[in-house]
A = this chain, B = another copy of it.
Amino acid sequence: MIRVGVIGVGTVGRSVVKILEENAAIITARAGDAIIVKRGVVRNLEKVRDLGIELSQNPDDIINDPEIDIVVELMGGVDEPFRILKSALANGKSVVTANKALLAYHRYELQEIAGDIPFEFEASVAGGIPIISALREGLSANHILSIMGIMNGTCNYMLTKMMNEGIDFDSILAEAQALGYAEADPTFDIGGFDAAHKLLILASIAYGIDAKPEEILIEGIEGVTQADIAFAKEFGYTIKLLGIAKRDGMEVELRVHAALVKQDAMIGKIDGVMNGISVVGDRVGETLYYGPGAGGDATASAVVANIIDIVRSGKRSPMLGFNHPLEEGLTLKDSGNIRSKYYLRLRISDKPGMLAQITQLFADHTISVETMLQRPYEAQCAHLLFSTHEALESDVCAMIKNLELLDAVLEKPFMIRII
Q: What residues of chain B lie closer than 8 Å to A116, measured between beta carbons?
A: 315-316
- Measured CB to CB, the nearest residue on chain B to A282 is B23
Q: Is A171 an interface residue (CB 8 A)?
A: no
- Complex CA gap A253/B315 in Å reads 32
Answer yes or no: A179 CB below 8 A from chain B CBs. no
Residues of B within 8 A of A330 (CB): 207-209, 247, 250-252
Residues on B with C-beta less than 8 A from A140 are 27, 30-31, 304-305, 308-309, 321
Q: Which of A52-60, A71-79, A131-139, A185-193 contacts B (4 or more CB under 8 A)?
A: A131-139
- Quote the shortest CB–CB distance from A362 to chain B (angstroms): 17
Question: How many A residues have CB within 8 A of the partner chain?
Answer: 131
Q: Which residues of B contact A308 (CB under 8 A)?
A: 137, 140-141
A295 nearest CB neighbor, chain B only: B285
| Known contacts A205-B321, A227-B345, A283-B300; is-contact A418 B260 (Cβ 8 Å) | yes
A178 located at the interface, meaning its Cβ lies under 8 Å from any Cβ of chain B in the complex: no
CB distance from A371 to the nearest CB of B (A): 7
Residues 307-338 of A, flagged 1 when their CB comes within 8 A of B and 0 if not, give 01100010111111110011011111101011
A389 interface residue (CB < 8 Å to B): no
**Contact at B313–A316, with CB atoms within 8 Å?**
yes
Closest residue to A328 on the B side, CB-wise?
B250
0/1 interface trace, chain A 195-218, chain B, CB 8 Å (1 if under): 000000000111111010001110
Q: Which residue of B lies closest to A291 (CB)?
A: B287
Instruction: Let me know if A410 is at the binding interface, CB within 8 A.
Output: no
Give the one of A208, A283, A301, A345 with max B CB within 10 A: A283
Q: A204-B321, A242-B419, A251-B330 known; 14 other A-B pairs, CB under 8 Å?
A: A26-B143, A27-B140, A130-B138, A141-B305, A228-B343, A232-B343, A244-B419, A252-B332, A260-B343, A260-B416, A266-B290, A269-B269, A281-B301, A284-B291
Query: Once the chains bind, are A331 and B252 in contact (CB under 8 Å)?
Result: yes
Q: How far is the CA of A329 from the CA of B288 in the complex (A)?
A: 27
Tell me whether A129 and B321 are in contact in the complex, defined as CB-CB below 8 angstroms, given that A23-B282, A330-B251, A332-B216 are known contacts: no
Decide if B332 touches A209 in the complex (CB within 8 Å).
Answer: yes
> A138 to chain B: which residues have CB within 8 Å?
122, 129-130, 133-134, 302, 305
Q: Which of A258, A303, A416 neighbours the largest number of chain B CB atoms within 10 Å of its CB? A: A416
Given contacts A231-B373, A231-B385, contact A301 B417 (CB under 8 A): no
CB<8 Å pairs between A and B, sample of 9 = A23-B143, A128-B284, A137-B309, A208-B321, A208-B325, A217-B335, A217-B338, A281-B301, A283-B297
In the complex, A224 has a CB within 8 A of chain B: yes
5 closest A-B pairs (Cβ-Cβ)? A130-B138, A287-B291, A141-B304, A128-B284, A284-B301
Chain B binder among A41-49, A80-88, A105-113, A398-406: A105-113
Kindly state the separation between the CA atoms of A317 and B310 in the bound complex, as whole angstroms. Answer: 11
Residue from A239, A282, A319, A338 whose CB has the most chain B CB atoms within 10 Å: A319
Q: Is A148 an interface residue (CB 8 A)?
A: yes
**A258-B416, A269-B266 known; A383+B320 contact, CB < 8 A:** no
Q: Establish whether residues A317 and B248, one from each chain, have CB atoms under 8 Å apart when the complex forms.
A: no
The interface residues of chain B lying within 8 Å CB-to-CB of A243 are none
Closest to A318 in B: B111
Chain B residue nearest in CB terms to A393: B217
